[in-house]
């Protein structure tokens, strides 16, 4: 299994991403109603707000809760070697 560790510059914290669920959700009003936490409205890595109907990905992180990622950040991690499942192809 491919893993990739990212050092977050804002925090002295290391995260090991074990898998990416690419295009797992679509950011809609229903999604925000179900996942109502403020942190679920932004990408966990770049902190950019999700926009309406954007496809968002789910990152599985070793020893932590899963993170929501924008497509750009998810693809960067995949390029670094993290294994992934593409939900749009299933």
Tell me, rounded to whole angstroms, the distance of Cα 59 from its chain centroid: 4
Name every residue whose Cβ is closer than 8 Å to that of residue 55 and which is 6 or more positions away in sequence: 23, 25, 26, 27, 71, 88
Rounded-to-integer distance, Cα 44 and Cα 46, Å: 6
pLDDT at 19 over 90: yes
pLDDT per position as a tens digit, 27-63: 887 776 666 665 678 898 888 988 888 899 999 998 8
Q: If pLDDT is split at 50, 70 and 90, which confidence band does 11 have? A: low
Structural domain boundaries in the chain: 4-89
């Amino acid at each position: 299994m491919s893993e990739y560790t990212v050092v977050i510059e804002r925090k002295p914290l290391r995260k090991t991403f074990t898998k990416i669920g690419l295009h797992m959700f679509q950011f809609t009003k229903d999604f925000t109603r179900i996942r109502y936490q403020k942190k679920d409205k932004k990408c966990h890595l770049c902190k950019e707000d999700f926009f309406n109907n954007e496809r968002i990905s789910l990152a599985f992180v070793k020893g932590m809760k899963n993170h929501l990622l924008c497509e750009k950040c998810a693809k960067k991690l995949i390029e670094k070697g993290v294994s992934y499942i593409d939900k749009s192809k299933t």
